[in-house]
Amino acid sequence: MLAWTSDGQGLGGEVFEPNGAPRATVILLHAMMADRRSFRGQDGLPGVLAADGFRVWVADFRGRGRSPAVSFQYDDLVRYDVPALVRAARELGGPVAIVGHSLGAHVALAAAPEALADAYLLLAGNVWMPQLDASRRRRLLRSITMRAFLAASSGGVFPARALRIGPVDEPRAYVEDLARFWREDRWASRAGIDYLAGLAHIDVPVLSIAGRGDLLMAHTVGARAFAAHLPRAEFRIAGKESGLSIDVGHMGLVTDRVSRPVWMEASRWLRQVL
């Protein structure tokens, strides 16, 4: 286990050690409907970071991968999972950074008041809220998508595996939280904690990278607007304009080898700020 949460859940994953003393510990947090395997292990971003001298923890959120299967709400990831991982990494000594992809990005930021890392690297980091994107077309598509997401979860889980859109099913309680963020245009806990307002207090280096080919999940417009709430955030776009052979999409930022230059850029940035 990488860590134990304060509510008794074990969080598993994989560890990639560098040659020699690590310059810092980097925690990698995956997207929804996925687990740690989306980062491709030694052949992906973890391998690039370890080769650059970082100790890399590729974690599984509760209910997937090497973490015990349990139902959960969005706030459980914020209140328990991220703090447990940061706390365990701090015990090793040295700086701690979080690299979050999609869900992993915004959950890590929401948890920052209780578990602040020394730097954050966001890959396709965004939360679906109407206020972050004025496009009527994307708002309509997201409304339709969210209704379908909820409808497909009527049996208690969203069946990502059966629908062949991801290796992990999501509990309905979690789906309801995402739908609430969209419906209320407010990213907040069930107890009313305003996660978006909290971003203004994250006074550490942040780099946000969005794929030019990400046309819905973390469109560059919304990702840029989300990052703008962070006082020290840099925003970059990955695609042909940045030297890639394609305009990389949402999952491609971490799963496609064409994104290797992005992974190397991420590692260089972490070396500079840690």
pLDDT per position as a tens digit, 121-173: 999 999 999 999 999 999 999 999 999 999 999 999 999 999 999 999 999 99
pLDDT per position as a tens digit, 35-69: 999 999 999 999 999 999 999 999 999 999 999 98
Going by the DSSP 8-state scheme, the letter that residue 78 receives in this structure is: I
pLDDT per position as a tens digit, 166-185: 999 999 999 999 999 999 99
Residues 6+ apart with CB under 8 A from 243: 261
Distance from C-alpha of 260 to C-alpha of 8, rounded to nearest angstrom: 37
Return phi, psi of residue 14, to 5°: -130, 150
Cα dihedral value 178, 182, 184, 187, nearest 10: 60
Going by the DSSP 8-state scheme, the letter that residue 131 receives in this structure is: G
Going by the DSSP 8-state scheme, the letter that residue 114 receives in this structure is: T
Give the H or E element holding residue 163: helix 160-163
Locate 45 and state its tokens.
Answer: 């971003």
Nearest-Å Rg of the Cα atoms of the chain is: 17
Quick check: 17 pLDDT over 90?
Answer: yes
Is residue 40 classed as helix, strand or coil in its secondary structure? coil
Locate 42 and state its tokens.
Answer: 């030694």
pLDDT per position as a tens digit, 190-246: 999 999 999 999 999 999 999 999 999 999 999 999 999 999 999 999 999 999 999
Average pLDDT, the chain: 97
CB–CB of 163/152 below 8 Å?
yes
Quick check: 269 pLDDT over 90?
Answer: yes
What pLDDT score was predicted for residue 159? 97
Residue 110 binned pLDDT confidence (cut-offs 50, 70, 90): very high
Quick check: 70 pLDDT over 90?
Answer: no
Give the torsion sign (CA, 172, 178, 182, 185). positive
What pLDDT score was predicted for residue 195? 98
Residue percentage of the chain with pLDDT more than 70: 100
What pLDDT score was predicted for residue 144? 98
Domains contained in the chain, CATH given: 3-128+194-273 (3.40.50.1820)
Span 240-258, average pLDDT: 97
Say which residue the tokens 């780099």 belong to: 207
Neighbouring C-beta atoms of residue 253, cutoff 10 Å:
27
Locate 92 and state its tokens.
Answer: 């090793």
Give the torsion sign (CA, 178, 180, 182, 188). negative
Give the torsion sign (CA, 60, 65, 66, 70). positive
Quick check: 87 pLDDT over 90?
Answer: yes
What pLDDT score was predicted for residue 145? 97
Neighbouring C-beta atoms of residue 237, cutoff 10 Å:
18
Question: Between vectors from CA 206 to CA 222 and to CA 133, what angle results, nearest 5°?
Answer: 10
